Structure 1
Amino acid sequence: MHYVKTVVPECGPQQEENLATVAREIADALDEFSTERRVISS
Structure 2
Amino acid sequence: MILPIQAKVLDAPARNARLAMYTGIFNVLWVIVTVLMIVRPGSTTGA
TM beyond 0.5: yes
Q: Which runs of 5+ in 1 are unaligned?
A: none
Provide runs of 4+ in structure 1 moved above 6 Å: none
Deviation per residue, 1:8-34 (Å, 9 max, x gap) = 4512xxx11100000000000000000
Tell me the C-alpha RMSD between the 2 structures: 2.0
Check if 1:36 corresponds to 2:33.
yes
Q: Structure 1's 24 and 8: CA in aligned 2 closer, same or farther, altered over 3 A?
A: farther
Counterpart residue number, 1:16: 13
Q: Structure 1's 33 and 39: CA in aligned 2 closer, same or farther, altered over 3 A?
A: same
Instruction: Tell me the amino acid that sits aligned with residue 23 of structure 1.
Output: A
Structure-2 separation of matches of 1:26 and 1:38:
19
Whichever structure has more helix as a proportion of its residues is 1
